[in-house]
Chains A and B, each alone.
Chain A
Amino acid sequence: MANDIVLETEALSKHWGGIKALNDISLQFHDRQLHGVVGPNGAGKSTLLNMLCGSLKPTSGCIFHKGERIDTLKPWKFVRRGIGRSFQKTNIYPEATCIENCAISAQRRFGGNFNLFVSRHSNKLVRKAAEQALAQVGLESRSDTVAAEISYGEQRQLEIAMVLATDPCILLLDEPMAGMGHEESQRIIELLKELKQTYCIVLVEHDMDAIFELSDQLTVLDNGRHLITGTVDEVRNDPRVKEAYLGAEEDDAEEEAA
């Protein structure tokens, strides 16, 4: 368990002027585990994810991938190391078909990205990888539908399929269940259960039931600070978490009672 750390942050901070969006975060993410990240709005969850995928540079601190420092690399190099992310707001190619969306993500690793003359459809490997990614999330039937025309829930699934098509080893998922109905959420939960057998997943999610059900490790952030990391039970029973998360509610209740 100790040696399979694939991603690690050391004293990671992000400051916007005087505002400390994230302060002194040291975390370890393990292979084949789902690491949940929760916290109230503005806790710094998305900031953390944006730094882990390279799109945001930390103010201070480092990120290590398999022991190598990566926070200084260009964002697109993160993906080449196998760090893939999905976005909180659906971020797909709306005018392209679902299969084409996945083909765009899959194509990079097969080369020929600067091949100007051969038709894009002639490469079987890209096609196969894209089909496989769609199948993984259960969207095979939507293959030739334009992405803008599928349902919102399906778009969220497509979003994950696009990350899978990049052949990552680490998945950074930013609220994959945001805005989904119960049934759709359930499908994503089943999918994530399956995926965590093979990938390291960092999951930011507001749906508490889902995150309690899925997480092997759970980190709670509050106001940019790292509150606690532990198993679901450890976190649940921690008094500090109750204070940060539920405390406000209890106070309200007490006030109301009084």
Chain B
Amino acid sequence: MIFEKRTERILVPMFFMVALFLPLFLESNSFFVGKVTTIIILSIFVMSLDFLVGRVGLITLGHALFYGLGGYLFVILAPEYEAVNFWIYTFYICGISALIALITGAVVLRTTGIYFIMITLAISQMMFYYFFDSLEFGGDDGVFIFMKPETSIFGLSFLNLDDPQHFYYLTLFSLFNTLVFFKVVLRSRFGRIVEATKQNPDRTEALGYNIFIFRLACYVIGSTLGAYAGFLFALQYGFVNPSFLAWEMSGTALVMSILGGLGTIYGAILGTFTYEGLQYLFEHLTEEWLLFMGSAIILMVIVLRKGIAGYLEKLLEK
């Protein structure tokens, strides 16, 4: 069983059951289907960050770099007025993002601690300003995606990305796969060494493991999934702009992941939904929603030391 904790075994099926039937009770074009889709996409992004920060111990402030890349790579690669194949382009985008993660990772992973935080931030800011000032990618306005990809496999098409409900199920399916993927990876022999490296890097090296390679592999995995989330987000809204890879994006994702319960993986879903839910609530209640939002987060971090997942585990685990 890849879900080792009781809390996971209760919450994960519950969440996916509710999410699976949710659109059936809402109109296909309703605002809520779109909103929940966005939160699900964000959950994938936050989950990939939670893996890096909470499980590998790589506190990155440059994760949004890959979120933005996922969107921009599609604009760069795909012809403007032609519907390309979704699966093939997912493969391209993930492949190239992985390669970029491999190269940047080889540089940034030579540093640790505060220097790692700074250098990941620096690299993502570099890319931010590159796209911000670029003429061919619309500068700070970004680029529109006119044609959504088609999703046929061997001529069979069962998904229409223009249909919000279809798109919703695609993102839900992706979130489920991401969750299972991380759980499986962390349970593997590779995951054992990753866990060991996080707990005690010096000892792990003294046991003969090249911890740099393990960290690099994780960095590539996390970054690639982050890029995939960015790609989905770009498809949903039909545009990319530099705010995708702004540092605020990395920062917000980090807050969501901490709110959910750092390193719990499934906590990323809890954190993202809570954060977005609170924001939606406060936005509708008051003009000064940021003030309430900030206070709520501070309060939650003080009260729930190990995040929402940590609190639920304390209740359910025994």
Whether A188 sits at the interface, judged by CB under 8 Å, is no
On chain B, the residues within 8 Å of A103 by CB distance are 192
Q: Are A118 and B192 closer than 8 Å at their CB atoms?
A: no
B195 (CB) vs chain A CBs: closest residue: A96
Question: Interface size (B, Cβ < 8 Å)?
Answer: 24
Stretch of B8-16, B44-52, B70-78, B183-191 with 4 or more beta carbons under 8 angstroms from chain A: B183-191
* Shortest Cβ gap from B273 to chain A (Å): 28
Stretch of A109-117, A224-232, A245-253 with 4 or more beta carbons under 8 angstroms from chain B: A109-117
* Shortest Cβ gap from A204 to chain B (Å): 16
Whether A104 sits at the interface, judged by CB under 8 Å, is yes
Whether B207 sits at the interface, judged by CB under 8 Å, is yes
* Shortest Cβ gap from B217 to chain A (Å): 7
Q: Are A114 and B207 closer than 8 Å at their CB atoms?
A: no
Interface string of B151-166 (1 = CB under 8 A from A): 0000000000000000
* Shortest Cβ gap from A41 to chain B (Å): 23
Q: Are A104 and B204 closer than 8 Å at their CB atoms?
A: yes
Tell me which of B192, B202, B206, B217 contacts A120 (CB under 8 A).
B192
Whether B111 sits at the interface, judged by CB under 8 Å, is no
**A104-B206 Cα distance, complex, nearest whole Å:** 11
Residues of B153-183 at the interface with A, using a CB-CB cut-off of 8 Å, are none
Q: Are A119 and B205 closer than 8 Å at their CB atoms?
A: no
Take A76-B205, A76-B209, A76-B210 as given contacts and tell me if A96 and B199 are in contact as well, using a CB distance cutoff of 8 Å. yes
Q: Are B208 and A80 closer than 8 Å at their CB atoms?
A: yes
Q: Are B184 and A116 closer than 8 Å at their CB atoms?
A: yes
Listed residue (B195, B205, B208, B211) with the most chain A CB atoms within 10 angstroms of its CB: B208
On chain B, the residues within 8 Å of A117 by CB distance are 184-185, 188
- How many A residues are at the interface, by size bracket? 35 or more
Listed residue (B191, B203, B207) with the most chain A CB atoms within 10 angstroms of its CB: B207
Whether A79 sits at the interface, judged by CB under 8 Å, is yes
Whether A74 sits at the interface, judged by CB under 8 Å, is yes
* Shortest Cβ gap from A198 to chain B (Å): 19
* Shortest Cβ gap from A100 to chain B (Å): 8
Whether B196 sits at the interface, judged by CB under 8 Å, is yes
Whether A9 sits at the interface, judged by CB under 8 Å, is no
Tell me which of A94, A105, A123 contacts B189 (CB under 8 A).
A123
Q: Are B200 and A120 closer than 8 Å at their CB atoms?
A: no
Whether A64 sits at the interface, judged by CB under 8 Å, is no
Whether B249 sits at the interface, judged by CB under 8 Å, is no
Interface string of B195-237 (1 = CB under 8 A from A): 1100110111111111100000100000000000000000000
Contact surface of B with A, Cβ cutoff 8 Å: 184-185, 187-193, 195-196, 199-200, 202-211, 217
Contact surface of A with B, Cβ cutoff 8 Å: 53, 55, 74-80, 85, 87, 91-96, 100, 103-105, 107-108, 112-120, 123, 126, 162, 166
5 contacting pairs across A/B (C-beta < 8 A): A94-B199, A100-B192, A107-B189, A117-B188, A118-B188
